[in-house]
Amino acid sequence: MGKVHFLLFFILWLNIEGNEANVCDSWAADAVYAGDGMCMTLNRTVMTLPQAKDMCLTQFGGHVAELRTEYQRQTVMSLIDATGARIVWIGASDEANEEEWLWLSNNDHAHIHSEWWASLQPDNHNGVEHCLVMELTQLRDRSCSKTYSTTCQKYIGNPCDGVLSGAEYYNGSCFKAVVENMTIDVAQDRCENMGAFLAEPNSADLKEFLALFAGMSFSQGENVLLGLTMTPPDDKFRRLSTGDSVDTTNWLIGTLSDLPRMHMEH
């Protein structure tokens, strides 16, 4: 192992009631998990912001989606990408006080990072742009009476609460980041003591989730231990828990080594 230090992920497989891998399914068809107990779904029908608020409430018992975390922002972007809806309402407004954006669900101050805006936005064009949309990946202010598709959200509770404290849920499993330097042997022991094992990104989707989660959990430039090992003679990646090889050919953002924060244990 030499002097290399690593940080690690824990993974714990959960038995969700009814063997339901996606906890958001029971709320809405095609809904996806957006972190911290939140589910999101996109309705492509275009409507004004007041109609969107009403639709999210009456159809889904929820609110127009907000961007309180990076996980939520990424989820809206991936829903736009998956559905082909180009522009969606985001639940914030600066109608009360120009340039003071508030989340619609409870009027909390909306902390909108400057790099989330499209260039030269927000511009309150013609003095009537008091509502917020995401166009592909960037935010713009728009008139609330224009019509766009809508992403709704609803809080359903974090399925990992009471299972593994501080863990985040993804597709039937709980993931916990442990920000400590340790060797792979120590990491495996620590995981085992919790009835868990090192996170094994065995699909492109899980790898993307882990990249997002690592970005939210670890400092830039930290190495993250994963439960994959590259073994001869074919030099394929294999899961430490099962020995199954992992097909990395369709991974959307290349191989794990393209992710600067995530390194494989060889």
Identity of the residue, 219 or 257, whose beta carbon is nearer to ligand NAG in the bound complex:
219
> Which positions ≥6 away from 115 have C-beta within 8 Å?
none
In the complex, least distance from residue 12 CB atom to ligand NAG, rounded to whole angstroms: 14
Cβ proximity to ligand NAG: between 70 and 222 the closer is 222
Tokens 């990646």 belong to 237
Tokens at residue 22, please? 């996606």
The span from the CA of 9 to the CA of 201, in Å, is 11
Residue 19 phi, psi (nearest 5): 55, 35
CB of 171 to ligand NAG, least distance (A): 4
Cα gap 60→242, rounded to integer Å: 40
Cβ 104 vs Cβ 89: under 8 Å: no
Q: Which one-letter amino acid corresponds to residue 120?
A: L
Judged by CB, which is closer to ligand NAG: 138, or 171? Answer: 171
Q: Is 171 in the site for ligand NAG (CB under 6 A)?
A: yes
Query: Whats the size of the chain, residue-wise?
Result: 266
Q: CB of 72 within 8 A of CB of 38?
A: yes
Q: How far is the CB of 143 from ligand NAG (least distance, A)?
A: 19
Contact call for residue 23 and ligand NAG (CB under 6 A): no
Q: Which two tokens stand for residue 88?
A: 């969606």
Q: Which is nearer to ligand NAG, 122 or 201 (CB)?
A: 201
Q: 9 or 101: whose CB is closer to ligand NAG?
A: 9
From the list 63-71, 199-207, 226-234, 243-251, the region that binds ligand NAG by CB under 6 A is 199-207
The footprint of ligand NAG on residues 202-241 (CB under 6 A) is 203, 205-206
Q: With binding defined as CB under 6 A, does residue 70 bind ligand NAG?
A: no
Pick from 78, 83, 135, 172 the residue near ligand NAG by CB under 6 A: 172
Task: Specify the residue for token string 């598709």.
Answer: 149
Alpha helices, DSSP H, located in the chain: 49-60, 70-83, 184-193, 204-217
Among 26, 137, 145, 181, binds ligand NAG (CB under 6 A): 181
From 159-167, 176-184, 224-232, 253-261, span contacting ligand NAG (CB under 6 A): 176-184
Binding ligand NAG by CB under 6 A: which of 39, 55, 104, 211? 55
CA distance 156 to 153: 9
At closest approach, how far in Å is the CB of 188 from ligand NAG?
A: 18
Q: Which of 69, 62, 121, 72 has its CA nearest to residue 94?
A: 121
Please give the residue ranges that form the binding site for ligand NAG (CB under 6 A). Answer: 5, 21, 43, 45, 47, 55, 59, 171-172, 179-181, 203, 205-206
